[in-house]
Chain A
Amino acid sequence: MFCAPYARPSSTRLLSALDPSGPQLPSNCIKTSKYNIVTFLPVNLFEQFQEVANTYFLFLLILQLIPQISSLSWFTTIVPLVLVLTITAVKDATDDYRCCWLPCDAAPLSLCSLRQEQWMNVRVGDIIKLENNQFVAADLLLLSSSEPHGLCYIETAELDGETNMKVRQAIPVTSELGDTSKLALFDGEVICEPPNNKLDKFGGTLYWKENKYPLSNQNMLLRGCVLRNTEWCFGLVIFAGGLGRPATRPDQIQADEHRPIFGFLVCMGVILAIGNAIWEHEVGVCFQIYLPWDEGVHSAFFSGFLSFWSYIIILNTVVPISLYVSVEVIRLGHSYFINWDKKMYCAKRRTPAEARTTTLNEELGQVEYIFSDKTGTLTQNIMVFSKCSVNGHSYGDVQDVLGHKAELGEVRPVDFSFNPLADPRFQFWDPSLLEAVKLGDPHVHEFFRLLSLCHTVMSEEKSEGELFYKAQSPDEGALVTAARNFGFVFRSRTPKTITVHELGRAITYQLLAILDFNNIRKRMSVIVRSPEGKIRLYCKGADTILLERLHPTNQDLTNVTTDHLNEYAGEGLRTLVLAYKDLEESYYEDWSERLHRASGAPEAREDRLARLYDEVEHDMMLLGATAIEDKLQQGVPETIAILTLANIKIWVLTGDKQETAVNIGYSCKMLTDDMTEVFVITGHTVLEVREELRKAREKMMDASRSMGNGFSYQEKLSSTKLTSVLEAIAGEYALVINGHSLAHALEADMEVEFLETACACKAVICCRVTPLQKAQVVELVKKYKKAVTLAIGDGANDVSMIKTAHIGVGISGQEGIQAVLASDYSFSQFKFLQRLLLVHGRWSYLRMCKFLCYFFYKNFAFTMVHFWFGFFCGFSAQIGLDTGFWTAINHFFIWGSLAAYFAILFAMHSDGLFQMFPNQFRFVGNAQNTLAQPTVWLTIALTTVVCVMPVVAFRFLKLDLKPELSDTKQKTQHRCMRRVGRVGSRRSGYAFSHQEGFGELIMSGKNMRLSSLALSGFAARPSASWIETLRKKKGGEGSTACSPSGAADKTLKV
């Protein structure tokens, strides 16, 4: 779905199912490799010769073949050139092989004709069978599924980062195609829009049996989704093919060094050529008796011209050809150190860190911006029922026997063995809550009764006592599981009833209504009739909403509960408030009547329903509050704190909701209560967003002015740059921006404004962003900040961001490998980022700097000797030192192999080699005879002293007179490391990854298996427009793009 390159750029696609004779459509193999065996050599050579240095050396080689010019024998160039080309080619080949052929055979699938096939063999027009928890291999049109009505549940966290489950439904005509024999006869044709990068929009038409059926996004399973709670489903492949090939990243070291060096080279060449012309004119003419000019050289000027080229050859050492190879080797070494690092090995997932590219190690040390995904990266996407407050009593603190707070691990979890239906994976640490349940505290009982009744979870009982919950959001799953373990087991439901095992007793409540959740209401309620006939409304929702709707008699309890809520929120927990209300029979009758009328109303149905819901959810009695922990990955807050200390800015880009994202921001200490202000930008129009951004900036500037640094402000203002003003902001700010506002903020005329506001903030959280927006944000920072950016994520929705950033990091070891495949580094825990950046990045950078310094020093020293010698040898391009194999030796020397150096030196100075090539080894004997002279050694010693002593003096004096930043930093660091304590403040910890529509779905009974319900008549109830509602609400809050297909859908239903 990510802009896959297709053969036909047509505006519509026509394809027919199971028709191999049709036009050749792309296979599903993700072809990311650049080469094949035949094209490797020419293509690779062509690419390598686009490198300036390589071309330069080829040019040198040609020059050296001209005897009048050649000042060095030709093999001094060809050896290093071939060496460089070979090493690079081998590296390219292995890279290509390793990174590009891996994904193709990743997962076998079962195909319609029950052939097992590899992912790569899936073609457009095939029909695929998918099983539960499988990744969707290609973009599919859902034909049928194991669930009734062709329903199918998918998790799209990989695509858009949203953690709740979504429903897809097959169009009714195909939903009966449940077995392979029927499917084999399916010969429909689909006309649809060409592939694009919109995840929430799809338009197309199915032609089958002379009928037209409009298709919408509701019928589509996109590649990268995971099938959940659905045993199997069949789908027609609409789009195949894959992610584009990984972007090659520009190499910073190679990019900018050439021009000055070549300029320098030419300068030296020109000076020496002029010198040569003058010398030949003044001296060389007279010297002709012993050394006549070459044939064809008749003037000093021409001789100077030739000598220019000779010097270009001689001075080639200044152009660092071996630099790239040496740099590559060093980087390779660093990559291995990363791979070998035990401190980045995750024992639980058995995954060591992996440096997948070798070219970026030193840039790790320069990262200034980190863009992080939330789900799976910062959080584990596991919700845990952690604490609760019932009737003013808070439960859930980890306590030892004496009631003191204790560390986890010292105490044992609560034993739920009394309850045969308990979920063994559930853990709770506070035994007093279970005590309260066992003692029969009515409030606690009511609390758990609410949790077991008020939800949209579906249960499935495969065998007696073995319950599985299908929750559309992990939060609900956690709550219902908690109730289950404390003895209030939600057993089964029908559209009209809910069966609960309350402490072993099966009680069936009559379900009268579900007042569904939505983002405005931020609450959901159920109205049930107990077996005794009492009608009661149970409600759970956000504290800000619910606490206002309580009965005034609750005031005292509310105060206590609010304190608890603050405490929970301060710990970064997601809170919900629970309340109930008894309804009079007569009142309910009346209300239900009005509800029935409202739901049948042709227009303003939503509004009328909302008003009715509002009316009944009033004067409720407070029960308590729950706190759910969205489990962070290990060590996330600590890592973020340390990275912040290192002045690295962390932006969280998530597809999740604002509340969830902000909540995580607090729990991983990105946002703190110490912050001066957290700006939330939720504008829906360009003007609103601009206004909000402007206000945020003004506030920051006002604050910094009033902080009393007016002087610096004035000074900064004179430099006319807004950025510098914002950079000097006093106080800590944070920015939270919503996806739809971000879309406006990223427009060309506002992006700078947005960026500057965002960069002035300590933390930036973007929520409900699409994968494309993630990439755009990264691109924006890259474009204007000229800083090294790093993106980290785990799912397919992060791939674009990972590819866009300078450095991409993938979280490995979980489901899904798209992010890892697109990344440069991969490891399994967010906390390893600290070591990757601050240890490996720093070391790589420092080592590379040192290496480069020495490399250039060596090259320049060597080259300048020739330049200097030119003044003594008549500018004739005679080499001053014997460079027979200088370049080759250079390599070995650089590679740290002194032994190899001497071995080759001795070999070269051996008599035997001279016997073989007397003309090339005329320096034989020089070394022995010169090194025998004490003068040589004395000179070496003196040179060493002359070179070293000033440096020692300089270093020492600098250390004392002008200490470096790092020296002072080390002293002050301890002071900064104080832990940020949190003070409770009024803030809603409510964050519920829930979606509207499931209430209606349940009440309609559509998703219930008919066999388990025996409700044949029920299914024909006329209120079955739930899926439309579902989609419309989704479209309303997400984007407005769905309307045409929505209309089409409606006509279909009618």
Chain B
Amino acid sequence: MKNKKSFAPQEAEARPSRCPDNSAFKQQRLPAWKPQLTIATVLSTFFLTGAFCLSVGICLILSANSVREIQINYSDKCSDCSKLRENSYNWNIECLCSVDFKLKEDMLGDVFMYYGLQNFYQNHRRYVISRSDAQLLGRDVNVQRSYCAPFTTYNNGTPMAPCGAIANSMFNDTIDLFYNFNSSVIQVPLLKTGNSWWTDKNVKFRNPQSHNLSSAFAGTARPPYWQKPVYLLDEEDERNNGYINDDFIIWMRVSAFATFRNLYRRISRKRHFADGLPAGNYTFHISYNFPVTKFKGKKYVILSTMVWSGGSNPFLGIAYVVCGAAATLTGAETEVRVLTGVLP
């Protein structure tokens, strides 16, 4: 019988007891909760959810309605300039264009100025990857190894700074806003910095280190579609020049859809405009550089105020209202069924 002992598992000697622990976890006795769907809970859930959704939806709609927004398609209005830009040989001919519009009521609070593009596929895969983040971080990198092609280097080997299709196609119209006040024209003061995200400005974009900016970009060339090199994007403000130029940063943040708007300027609330834009006649003075007709695109300039829930997007509010209404109706339907005795 002595070999019978060796049949007993080895663990028996190692562990005195092979009995499993009597813990709640191991015995699967952890407390659990399974909601009981009774009439009271279900009905109250429906009505509470309905009430919540309806109130949020109404708030959203009201606040979205309080947003003042004006949108002007200036690629149509400046049709001459559009025509001119269709031919790329005219790239260095300046084209100015004025667009008048009238504000019927005041735009109070912070006013934001956007440019909008339609049918511009910033979300195309090859477009999205066509950039070198390392280069934009001010590093000396070989852009050949990035996805920037074909906007990496010129034929003579000079690398483009910044490289890639995104940077190359940067929106380069300049838009100024003038207020026609009592037959005098006042330029609306616009803020061109502080429009980008903090992380972009301080983390993701950095200029190459050098004693001045132009030497930092020595040995590189501007992208082919650009009129001036990157270190001349903003000659007045050292902290808004080169890669950390706000306009550039904003452009580099590609949009998810082919129709989009990017923040261009904010109205500086000074003097006449301390409360926002007063009602009256205004003029946009646009230096028209960015061609869009070639790909059947359109350009807009948009002035808008903001509320807590964002811009003038009524969708979320409507969705909340619909959803709340549905919940309430279902609750009511159930209630009726209960009362009439269809349900127990």
> 1/0 per residue B58-91: CB within 8 Å of A?
0010000000000000000000000000001000
Q: Within the complex, what minimum Cβ distance (angstroms) separates A468 from chain B?
A: 14
Report if B46 contacts A (CB, 8 A). Answer: yes
A108 with B6, Cβ < 8 A, contacts A337-B26, A340-B26 known = yes
Q: Kindly list chain B residues whose C-beta atoms are within 8 Å of the C-beta of A393.
A: none
When the two chains form their complex, are residues B3 and A877 in contact, meaning their CB atoms are under 8 A apart? Answer: no
Q: Which residue of A lies closest to B10 (CB)?
A: A102
Asked if A342 meets B124 with Cβ closer than 8 Å, knowing A106-B6, A942-B323, the reply is no
Whether A945 touches B4, Cβ cut-off 8 Å, given contacts A287-B295, A294-B126, A352-B20, is no
The stretch of B179-187, B236-244, B308-316 that contacts the partner chain: B308-316
| Residues in chain A near residue B326, CB distance under 8 A | 949
Interface hits, A879-922 → B, CB 8 Å: 879-880, 911, 914-915, 918-919, 922
Contact of A960 with B by CB under 8 A? yes
- Do A945 and B20 touch across chains, with their CB atoms under 8 A apart? no
Contact with A along B20-55 (1 / 0, CB 8 A): 111000111000000001000010011001000100
Residues of A905-952 at the interface with B, using a CB-CB cut-off of 8 Å, are: 911, 914-915, 918-919, 922, 924-925, 928-929, 933-935, 938-939, 941-942, 945-946, 949, 952
Give chain B residues whose Cβ lies under 8 Å from the Cβ of A347.
19
- Closest A-chain residue to B6, C-beta based? A107
Alpha-carbon gap, A874 to B256, bound state (A): 11
Bound form: Cα–Cα A109–B319 in Å: 80
Known contacts A342-B20, A919-B133; A876 and B12 CB within 8 A of each other:
no
A942 engages B4 (CB within 8 Å): no
Determine the residue in chain A with the shortest Cβ distance to B7.
A817
A287 to B121, CA, bound (A): 8
Contact assessment for B344 and A291 in the assembled complex, using a CB-CB cutoff below 8 Å: no
Partner of B134, one of A876, A918, A935, A941: A918
In the complex, chain B residues whose CB is within 8 Å of the CB of A922? 131, 133, 204
Min C-beta distance of B305 to chain A, whole Å: 16
Chain B residues, Cβ within 8 Å of A919: 132-134, 146
Interface flag for B291 (CB, 8 Å): yes
Which residues between 286 and 301 of chain A lie within 8 Å of chain B, taking CB atoms?
286-287, 289-292, 294-295
Q: For residue A928, which residues in chain B have a CB less than 8 angstroms away from its CB? A: 199
In the bound complex, do residue A133 and residue B1 qualify as a contact, i.e. CB atoms below 8 Å apart? Answer: yes
State which size class the interface on A falls in: 35 or more
A938 contact set on B, CB distance < 8 A = 56, 60, 309, 316, 320
B203 near A873 with CB under 8 A, answer no
Q: Which residue of A lies closest to B197 (CB)?
A: A929
CA distance A67 to B343 in the complex (A): 61
**B270 to A: closest C-beta gap in Å:** 27
Query: Does B344 contact A960, Cβ atoms closer than 8 Å?
Result: yes
**B46 touches which of A134, A949, A959 (Cβ 8 Å):** A949
The CA-CA distance from A352 to B22 in the complex, in Å, is 13
A959 lies within 8 A of B126 (CB) = no
**A351 sits at the interface (CB 8 A):** yes
Q: Does A695 contact B (CB under 8 A)?
A: no
- Does chain A have a CB within 8 A of B118? no
Is the C-beta of B330 less than 8 angstroms from some C-beta in chain A? yes
Known contacts: A292-B150, A929-B197. The answer to whether A953 contacts B330 by CB under 8 A is yes
> B6 to A291, Cβ gap below 8 A?
no
Contact B60 A955 (CB under 8 A): no
Q: Report if A44 contacts B (CB, 8 A).
A: no
Decide if B37 touches A956 in the complex (CB within 8 Å): yes
Please determine whether A290 and B168 come into contact, CB atoms closer than 8 angstroms. yes
Least Cβ–Cβ distance between B105 and chain A, in angstroms? 25
Q: Is the CB of A878 within 8 A of B199?
A: no
Are A310 and B1 touching (Cβ within 8 A)?
A: no
Residues of B113-161 at the interface with A, using a CB-CB cut-off of 8 Å, are: 119-121, 123-128, 130-134, 136-137, 139, 146-147, 149-150
A878 to B295, CA, bound (A): 20
Q: How far is the CA of A877 from the CA of B316 in the complex (A)?
A: 28
Asked if A876 contacts B126 (CB within 8 A), the reply is yes
Does B214 reach chain A (CB closer than 8 Å)? no
Contact A342 B22 (CB under 8 A): yes
Contact yes or no, B123 A878, CB < 8 A? yes
Whether A43 sits at the interface, judged by CB under 8 Å, is no
CA distance A956 to B35 in the complex (A): 11
- Neighbouring A residues of B136 by C-beta, 8 Å: 918
Tell me the bound Cα distance from A295 to B1 in angstroms.
82
| Shortest distance from the beta carbon of A346 to any chain B beta carbon, whole Å | 10
Check B343 against A133 for contact (C-beta < 8 Å).
no
Rounded to whole Å, the gap between the CB of B31 and the closest CB of chain A is 16
Most chain B CB atoms below 10 A, which of A291, A922, A957? A291
CB distance from A293 to the nearest CB of B (A): 8
Given the interface contacts A918-B137, A933-B310, does A873 sit within 8 Å of B124 by beta carbon?
yes
Query: Which residue of the partner chain A has the closest CB to B331?
Result: A953
1/0 per residue, CB under 8 A from A, across B199-214: the answer is 1100110000000000
A352-B20, A933-B310 are contacts. A874–B199 as well, Cβ < 8 Å? no
**What CA separation (Å) do A801 and B169 show in the bound complex?**
73
CB of B258 within 8 A of CB of A286, answer no
A350 at interface by CB-CB < 8 Å? yes
Option from A342, A877, A911 in Cβ contact (under 8 Å) with B125 = A877
Which A33-76 residues sit within 8 Å CB-CB of chain B? 67, 71
Decide if B250 is an interface residue (CB 8 Å cutoff). no
B-side contacts of A934, CB under 8 Å: 308-310
Give 20 A-B contacts (CB < 8 Å), ordered by A residue. A109-B3, A133-B4, A283-B295, A289-B291, A290-B165, A290-B295, A291-B126, A340-B26, A342-B19, A342-B21, A342-B26, A345-B18, A345-B20, A351-B18, A872-B256, A873-B123, A876-B123, A876-B124, A876-B126, A942-B319
Q: Which 4 A-B pairs have the closest CB atoms?
A: A925-B199, A918-B133, A878-B125, A340-B26
